A = this chain, B = another copy of it.
Amino acid sequence: MGNKTQELKNILDTNNYKLTSQRDLILQILADNEGEHLSAEEIYNIVKQRDSGIGLATVYRTLELFGELGIVQQLNFDDNCRRYELEENNNEHHHHLICIDCGAVIEFNDQILEEFETDLEKKYDFLVTEHSIKFYGYCENC
């Protein structure tokens, strides 16, 4: 059992879910495509190449579950579908610059925003658990 697989099994066990070949495969695909921001449909198409019997509903269900377990992050680039990427295991968030011309996605990390977030929490007596930060515009090629 591979390293990634064992880690997945641990998380699933802890939360009373079972390790299945479909879940394992979907995780591998996500890992193999680090840096991409794939939609469920795109993941489905890749997964099908290795397991032609898999169902689209299972892909959706698995991504939903992975989201709840903190394994993946769900993204919304306003292109009419949800996108997914592996959550990084260290707690170094990153966010996205999205080119509205060519669709390129650039990642940046958000150390600087930490302070801003803390200030907001105090000011509004609000406990931030998550944030979504996106900048839209034109990349260097466009």
Residues of A within 8 A of B (CB): 76, 78, 97, 99-100, 106, 108, 112-113, 116-117, 119-121, 123-140
Partner of A127, one of B116, B125, B138: B138
**Residue on B nearest A132 in the bound complex, by CB:** B134
Q: How many copies of this chain? A: 2
Instruction: Indicate if the CB atoms of A126 and B112 lie closer than 8 Å.
Output: no
Across the A-B interface, give the 3 residue pairs with the lowest CB-CB distance, nearest first.
A125-B140, A128-B137, A130-B136
Cα distance A99–B20 when bound, in Å? 35
Cα distance A117–B112 when bound, in Å? 11
List 22 contacting pairs A-B, 8 Å CB cutoff, sorted by A.
A76-B76, A76-B78, A100-B130, A108-B120, A108-B123, A121-B137, A124-B139, A125-B140, A126-B137, A126-B138, A126-B139, A126-B140, A127-B137, A127-B138, A128-B135, A128-B136, A128-B137, A129-B136, A129-B137, A130-B137, A131-B133, A133-B134
Cα distance A130–B137 when bound, in Å? 6
**Residue on B nearest A100 in the bound complex, by CB:** B129
Distance between A22 CB and nearest chain B CB, rounded to angstroms: 26
Partner of A97, one of B78, B99, B120, B136: B120
Instruction: Indicate if the CB atoms of A135 and B140 lie closer than 8 Å.
Output: no
Cα distance A140–B124 when bound, in Å? 8
A106, A108, A135, A140 — which one has the most chain B CB atoms within 10 A of its CB? A135
